[in-house]
Every structure is written in C-alpha cells, then in structure tokens.
Amino acid sequence: MRRVAVTGIGAVTPIGLGADGLWAGVLANRSAVRAVDRFDASPFPSRIAAQIDDFRPLDHLDVKRARRLDRFSQITVAAARMAIEQSCLSEADHGDGRTGVWIGSALGGVAFGEEQHAAYVERGVRAVSPTLATAVFGGAGASNVAIDLGIRGPAVGNANSCASGAMAIGQAFHAIRAGIVDVALAGGAEAPLAPLTFGAFAMIRVLSQRNDDPATASRPFDADRDGFVMSEASAVLVLEAWESAERRGATILGEVGGFGASTDAYHLTAPLPSGEAAAAAVTTALADAGMAAAEIGYVNAHASSTQLNELAEAKALRLALGEHGRGVPVSGTKGLYGHPLGASGAIEAAITVMALRNGLLPGTCNLVTLDERCELNVLREPMQARPSAALSTSFGFGGMNAALVFRA
C-alpha cells in the first residue's frame, strides 16, 4: 500500500484565507465570532456566528463562474484552487484521469435554496435562479471543483453531518493508497448562514446564547460552555501518492497515516454517552496507520463547545488511547472560527498538518476553567513541540464518527 503525502492546503475561513491566512489566524488565538449581520437573527435565542467577511468571489473566480455558483460552491472551488496553487500541480498533473475529488458538506447549497424559496414566494417562479437545481444537489461541491479544474477521475460528495470533511479526506486517502487514483483534492465546505437554516439549529438549542459576549461564546472544554457557534468555511487538501510527489519535486507538508470511521447507532443529535463507537473510529485509524496509541503526540479534538459531545469525546479518547490519553496534549480550535459543520474536519486536518510541520501545537481559545469531567490535558495556550504523529477527530449528528492520523 502506497504512502500518501499532503502537498497543498487551501482554506476560506473566518480567521483567514489560504494556508498562510488560516495559520496566522491560529497563531493570533483570537475568536472571529460576532453578532450576525447577514440577516435578522432577532427571533432566535442565538444571534451570533463566525462569518467570512473578506472573501470576494471575483478575487478567485472569473465573472461568469462566480455568477453561476452559489456561496457554498464559490468557497469550495476557491479553496480547491488555493490548494492546487500551493501544491504546484500543473494541469497535466491532474487532468489525466488519475486525480479525484472528495468533498463533504452537511448542508451543501441548502442556504441558497432557502434564498430562492423566499424569491419564489415573494415574486413567483420567474424570480427563481435557473441554477437552483444544480446548487442544492449533494455532489455540487465536488462536481464544481472537477469542472473548474478539469479533473476526470472520481468526484464524490458526502453529507455525513459534521464528520463530512474528515470522511472525504479519509476516503480519498484510501483511494490513493489502493492505487485507484494518484492525486486527490479532499476536504469540506459549509455555507449555512441563512435565517431558516441557522434558525433550525437555534430552535433545538444546540447553539450558544452568549449573545452579549460573542467573542467568548465558542469555548471548547470550558466548564461554562453553553453550545456551539455556527460558522461558514471551506478547506481542501491536495493528497498525493508519495512517489508522485517526490518525482515532481513537490514540497511535502505532511503525511496521512490512517483513517477510521464508525456510527453510534444511538441518536440523531446526542452522542453515545460511553464514547465506545467514537473510540472505535480512533482505534481503527491507529490500526490503519500501523501505530500504537503511545505514538500520538497531539490531538486536535472535534471539541464543538457542547457539554454532551465533549464529555463523550473525552471518554472516547481515553478509551482509544488508554492511559496515554490523559496526558497527550489536546486542543479544540473551534474557539477561533466556530463550528462550520461539515467543513470542520477538513479545517482541523489542515491545522493538524501545519502544527506538525511548524512545531507548534494550537491552544484552545476561550478556555478559562477546564471541565474536570473531561480528564484530558487540554492546552490553553499554544505550545512548542514536534511530535511525530497526531490525531484529528470529527463527530456529527446521526452518530457519525471519523478519525484521521497524520505524520510529520
């Protein structure tokens, strides 16, 4: 089985654009959460989010392409272009049918569908965009990346809730390792900031209601956390067969070592309290990488800033990593950029790769008082360290669990 290198990272996030912008946002250790101004959020108990305010489609796409794509596909294609640019892949390198695309998203183009429904109700069918049908189908992100870049291998979209981005990277990794493709663009994207879409989560009270202090609302592992903060973002990684990357002289940023997935089969919104199924995903990823738990030197946790999920995740990490799980450095980076649902696993994979490469483990923004029930070594501030391997976990509605192992 072939080794799989990471040779490019693209990102569109509330804390920065591109690999360098994302890393600069991590180093700043400052939350991007603020009051929602995209729409009137006053009817909802939560009125805060992490918005991307510096993304201009025409900086990344031509006028015709930008007009045809909704925001979800715009940020997906932009991140893919950034990743390709950093990897220095030429069209000849990815246009031969040996390159694929794997993009995950919990909601895809549903916010655009909401916008078009409002236009239909107000002004009738003639007011509806002809691109609606192609914006809301599940494979829109992967298809638009493939069309934009001329990629003719597999183009796969998944909707595995908040584990979507990690699932996409894991599936692409396995496809390269098995020889199905040589190169893959893999990641996740989410653009859910529309009133009904946002309100659906607010109404089931999973969102933070710290409206008077938005910057401290997303607080992973903190004893005073009260829910997650909705966000929009995209991140795409270029994965490449190691020998292919070496042959063309690519800069190798890191290595994907293993992938594991499982399902709680328990509840649509609550995690299995014991953490057993989530632990199984981690154990599978470690076995897939041929590694022992003690080799993991850092964990970028899913850490959504919710009570139930983080307690279950902490149990899962202790089960999967054993006694080592109590001492290994852990951070939750959603304190910086909120929770962009299906994009989060891809963003956190990118951050994990850069942490290993740069020898700096991120802190956990807004962590003031650690919830002692978690029994983990959670980093408040960034820490200099050069572990040889790291783990990134992603968990979502429906009991979807995914774990990725990376090597420096």
DSSP letter string, 286-351:
HHHHT--GGG---EE----S-HHHHHHHHHHHHHHHGGGGGTSEEE-THHHH-B-GGGHHHHHHHH
Contact 167, 104 (CB under 8 A): yes
Q: Which of 60, 174, 302, 374 is catalytic?
A: 302
Q: Is 162 annotated in the active site? A: yes
Structure tokens given for 375:
């029994």
Structure tokens given for 65:
């392409």
Contact 333, 26 (CB under 8 A): yes
Q: Which of 162, 174, 365, 374 is catalytic?
A: 162
> Strand pairing of 383-384 and 389-396?
unpaired
Closest to 4 (Cα-Cα) out of 173, 237, 218, 202: 173
Q: Is 302 annotated in the active site? A: yes
Amino acid occupying residue 160: N
Structure tokens given for 392:
């990134």
Closest to 349 (Cα-Cα) out of 268, 284, 407: 407
Contact 343, 191 (CB under 8 A): no
Q: Which of 94, 174, 339, 374 is catalytic?
A: 339
Catalytic residues: 162, 302, 339
